[in-house]
A and B are shown apart, each in its own frame.
Chain A
Amino acid sequence: MTFKNAFALCAALSVSPLIANAQETLTLYTSQPNTDAQQTVDAFEKANPDIDVEWVRDGTTKLMTKLRAELASGVVKPDVLLIADSVTMESLAADNYLFAYQSPAREAYADSLYHPEGYYYGTKIITTGIVRHKRAPETPKSWADLTKPEYKGQLVMPSPLYSGAALIHLATLTDAPELGWNYYEQLQANGAMAQGGNGGVLKAVTSGSKPYGMIVDFLAIREAAKGSPIEFTFPTEGVSMVTEPVAIMEGSKNKAAAQRFVDFLLSKDGQALVLEQGYLPAREDAGVPAGFPQRDAIKLLPFDAASTLKSTDENKSRFSDIFGG
């Protein structure tokens, strides 16, 4: 091969990804499981054939670390975010990274589910409870049960260093007077394993390598409905909750398409997809998926968004000190 050929090939290879980009492209950062994210994107693209969505999936906490690093370098990659919790959104809004958009669809939602100035909109109600394998010997009823000796080395949970729902869960439980940080120390002493995200917990419990787990409701309930040998419990003390909000980045160069994405998620069709995927939709008139209790039957633990916002970094490093890594 001569130099000339090689260079020509180089040039051709480096240009090729740029061709065939006549359409509008929207970049989405999301923490939804891979298959759900693809379904959401497919449904949106079907309704908006002129927009291509390129998406990246990672755990919320991990994704935000990446985003923060990119923002610090002056690079804005995503146009829209669809991540686990509103506290993360609040911190981004406080740093002026989010774009305020008053979606006409917000009328159908409870005030608490979206930011009054329109920085973000909750799309689902996701709680964290306990999952057990059906052949497991114990049936845990409360969070406190998990620290008992019968559960030694048998519990798996998502890591707050990876998952946004797990970070909110950590903040909620450590704020609860009867649990607190002491609870997480006891879990660690009882051999609980903290790994990756909720998907990892589901894998460990369905496959039987750990019979009990802390997990988000929809993953466990929908897998159980498909025939997986697991069952989900709402513990007696109450559960923590996130709303999987969607938001537009201030630096987005494609705000019109981004607004259509937000509107789509909040629309009746968008919420019908949420229901079909087995999540509890944020929109109250959208119904309840199979396997869920009625909305008012779910007991929520108290949650202080403002203090959580302040203590996020401290919570992460304290957790990292207890569980290592």
Chain B
Amino acid sequence: MLTASSDNQLRWLSITLFGLVVALSLLPCLRLLSEALSHWDRGLDAPLLSILQNPHTWVALQNSLYTSGLGTLISVVLGSGFAFVLTLTNIRYRALWIFCFMLPMMIPPQVTALSWLQLFGPASPILNTLGIAPALGSPQPMYSAEGIALLLGIQHAPLVFLALRSQLICLPKDLIEAAQLSGASQWRLWIDMIVPLSRNAIFAGAAIAFVSALGNFGIPAMLGIPAGYSVLPTLIYQQMAGFGNDVLSEVASLSMLIAFLVLIGMLLQQWIQQRSSYSLIGHNAQPASFRLGKWRIPTQILLCAVLCLILIAPLAALMISSVVPALGMPLTADTFTFAAYNEMVNNQGSTARAFTNSLLLASLAALLLMIITLPLGYRLMRLSLKARAVIASLIEVPYAIPGIVLAIAFILLFSRPIPIINVTLYGTLTLIFLAYLSCFLSVCLKPVMSALSQLDPALEEAAQIAGATPIQRLINIVLPLISPAVFAGGLLVFLIAVNELTVSALLWSAGNETLGVLIFNLDESGDSILASAISVLVVVLVASLMALLSLLAPRLPKGVIPWHC
């Protein structure tokens, strides 16, 4: 009797959860695929063929590959440099350095782009204040392929950093000491041990950075669109924004093109990671550490200088441009004004709405995902390794494919009323919400899975023997033990969702603006000062949430919080 009902509970739980995963992950992708490959009756004008014949597609593809490639190179240099110094040496204030280095990844790309735009060009408030602004009509250097690549590189450097750092941490101290005792020089140590052992991690990190750069929309949208320089995501956006649903099939085909490139990148990364899984024994050994000696202070100064360049200077420019009355004016005691904040906070109705919408979307998505991922992770852990891997990569797909592609998939799915219940989701907040669930499921699931895998099965077995049903065990045994991880997953989702632009840029409508859309639209309509004011508030929000997560860190399994590994 007891077993029958508990079996039943389990079966229903599994069926519901897997139905959900299929609905959120598989359905949008399949709909996109079917649209992209449709309309063959049009012959040479079939969407897939027509975009392949269009020269714009090839230009955008080439630009995408160039900016992402160059960006990845910058990410690798920055990310691996920081990873080596911050992991292998006895540098001071390690936690602080890591926090600052990770911050660019968490700041939304449109804000990053906006702050770099304020840093250069003849209108730069910071250069005007210092009296070194370039001459009239001199080009804004950020409006270029290299500008885009630089920011992509900085934005995604933390990905390389994380991949490499997790490998370096496993580099056992005794191995290096053994080599040193045998008389190996510092140079041979690097060439023969550290570089070969970390090469695959760098490649894997580079592959993730490349894939993320390919899908990035915020940076090329703010820096490329004004200069007429298009990459694949902005080409899709501009086609949709300029021509609407008439070009949906063509845009779906374009989306498939990016999705295809991204999938290649992901497969490459997985293949490299599998090759490196010969791994190192002795994970518990003390990690290697080089003494910097008299080089410690110069190294710290160098790190500080790099961080000033890539983080502090643009943020300072952003802050300064939010307190001047008009672009191109210097900041003095007379010109200092909070007018932009006043206008945005007190006058513009859209600010409150965007904050409410983004906070609502992000917190609901975080909450619901926390509720879903707990039983989902629990069930997944009970599957065979092979089945688990298949489902985990299914969940990964919507997160990995660029947001712009996912948005197109959701428009395709929901632009008509849903059959049977006859409800139209298009143009509602619910549509953005569903897209977020699909996009961020894997973000929330990862920490939960890693906590579950560290759980001692004996506890649950004891409860099972005492007659607890699976649901009871889940709530009374598993939940209390992994709740910090679930919470951390939820907070990560919140952090990413509250600043999200790419998905909502295509799905927003009247009254449904998100924070990302608000900043993007303000900048596009020429109100950069207002956009800067909101951006400053957003950066403050992000930094405080990250600090909150850091406070939680000691109670979480290792590796749950990206900047605390």
Please give the residue numbers on chain A whose beta carbons come within 8 Å of chain B beta carbons, in ascending order.
1-3, 6, 9-10, 13-14, 17, 27, 29, 33-35, 38, 41-42, 54-59, 61-62, 65-66, 68-70, 72-75, 77-78, 133, 135-136, 153-154, 161-162, 193-203, 206-211, 228, 313, 316-317, 320, 323-325
A-B residue pair count with CB separations less than 8 angstroms: 185
Interface size on B, residues (CB 8 A): 64
B464 neighbours in A (Cβ, 8 Å): none
Tell me, in angstroms, the Cα distance from A35 to B342 when the chains sit together. 12
B248 to chain A, nearest CB (A): 9
Q: Is the CB of B510 within 8 A of A74?
A: no
B426 neighbours in A (Cβ, 8 Å): 69-70, 73, 75
A21 to chain B, nearest CB (A): 12
Tell me, in angstroms, the Cα distance from A168 to B77 when the chains sit together. 49
Q: Is the CB of B511 within 8 A of A54?
A: yes
B21 to chain A, nearest CB (A): 19
A78 neighbours in B (Cβ, 8 Å): 510
Question: Which one of B6-14, B83-91, B154-162, B236-244 contacts A?
Answer: B236-244
Tell me, in angstroms, the Cα distance from A41 to B348 when the chains sit together. 10
A161 neighbours in B (Cβ, 8 Å): 238, 241-242
Any chain A CB within 8 A of the CB of B38? no
Known: A77-B510, A209-B121. A193 touches B526 (CB 8 A): no
Q: Is the CB of A69 within 8 A of B244?
A: yes
Tell me, in angstroms, the Cα distance from A210 to B242 when the chains sit together. 24
A228 to chain B, nearest CB (A): 7
Q: Is the CB of A196 within 8 A of B226?
A: yes
Beyond A10-B368, A38-B349: 7 further Cβ-contacts under 8 Å? A41-B349, A58-B525, A74-B424, A196-B524, A196-B526, A199-B527, A206-B327
Q: Is the CB of A325 within 8 A of B225?
A: yes
Q: Is the CB of B226 within 8 A of A193?
A: yes
Please give the residue numbers on chain B whose beta carbons come within 8 Å of chain A beta carbons, in ascending order.
56, 59, 121-123, 136-140, 225-228, 230, 234-235, 238, 240-245, 326-328, 343, 347-350, 353, 356, 360, 363-364, 367-368, 370-371, 411, 414-417, 424, 426-428, 475, 483, 509-511, 513, 521-522, 524-528, 530
The DSSP consensus for interface residues of chain B is: helix
Q: Is the CB of A200 within 8 A of B360?
A: no
A33 to chain B, nearest CB (A): 7
Tell me, in angstroms, the Cα distance from A313 to B363 when the chains sit together. 41
B415 neighbours in A (Cβ, 8 Å): 69, 72-73
A207 to chain B, nearest CB (A): 3
Q: Is the CB of B121 within 8 A of A207?
A: yes
B348 neighbours in A (Cβ, 8 Å): 34, 38
Q: Is the CB of B521 within 8 A of A57?
A: yes
Q: Is the CB of B526 within 8 A of A10?
A: no
Q: Is the CB of B242 within 8 A of A61?
A: yes
Interface CB pairs A-B, < 8 A, 11: A10-B367, A27-B510, A38-B349, A56-B509, A66-B241, A73-B416, A74-B424, A161-B238, A195-B228, A206-B123, A324-B230
Beta-carbon nearest neighbor of A196 in chain B: B524
B241 neighbours in A (Cβ, 8 Å): 62, 65-66, 161-162
Known: A29-B510, A196-B526, A203-B327. A317 touches B243 (CB 8 A): yes
